[in-house]
Structure 1
């Protein structure tokens, strides 16, 4: 299980009280995704080890000169299935993470529209990039706090889009941003290690944490200015 806990030294005292709950709710989702990664990887390792042991036991009873042929005839499908399984598991987590991220951003934008009293159109495509643009341009939120994690996540949208729309293939390999845990093999994106997925989750957590603080600071600034005008 993921460790559910907070570092109280990292707390920001929100003036917009709803952000306390929204931050907690969002964190729960990221913890759940982390648990899902661990559970799937553990299950995969157990099943693959069992398959390998059974394969070795069967081949041990086959004469050496026939083992290669027997292996190809009776175990090739199993080998290929495990290759596909790990790809599907990791790709699914990648898609789920960005889907969760965009869903929470849409919810947050609707909260901001109500709280700030500013009406904007809800984006229906390129949600992650467009909502950030709206938050900065329409609501006047400064991005210094969250821009680092935002940029890192934005760079990995190419991986997400390739998995979602082109069977993991990237047409222009120059657009691929190489990071630990993901590689490009003959034009196809392959998540080679869960460290990539865990890094995405960590970046998403950091992004949301700093985004909420930045929005709260902006809202406090607006309300403070209204108070001065009223006086």
Structure 2
């Protein structure tokens, strides 16, 4: 979502020294940008780099490591854990740069933790009882978005599972059906698409079906406002479970 120029700008401005890349084209781009991204020293590749890319990287005084090599280095060189201070920088979250170059927002560990617990508190999920299934989040938002990133970290904190959409809006319903998430990181545009799908199905149900649906919405909202997030209500059984399965 940031585009080639945006990514190059971010790497340069933030003085990134190590970066992860998931395909050979991106690795080649990073090598070609080395003269502008002076601080970059190491590329960690999720795929096996070609000999040509390794040679080009060496010419630019860049090191390419595979993920397995990085893990091995970590195993052979253990270091003491250095806990961060709450005021230390946790991450720099960049905008998409829709009005010029991307702008970086520096988030401290304190700020990011507050954001994470804000997400968890808003969905009544600050802990997971032992007798309940672990939460599963389908992340539609990119990790280069504080909501998407925060959701993944928040669910990881609880030992949850994260799934990532296929990258195509028209396949989102398939993603929902396959992954069966209990939590969704969404934006209004996506909610509108789901709402339109439900309304389309409602038109086929007739007057009684539409009346029942409105009653279910009111009843469910009333329960949620009272702090009841149960998925085992009468409305879930007769209305919402069918929607989830569809």
TM-score normalized with structure 1 length: 0.18
Taking CA–CA contacts closer than 8 Å with sequence separation of 6 or more, which of the two structures ends up with the larger relative contact order?
Answer: 1
TM-score of the pair, normalised by structure 2: 0.17
**Which structure shows the higher helix fraction?**
1
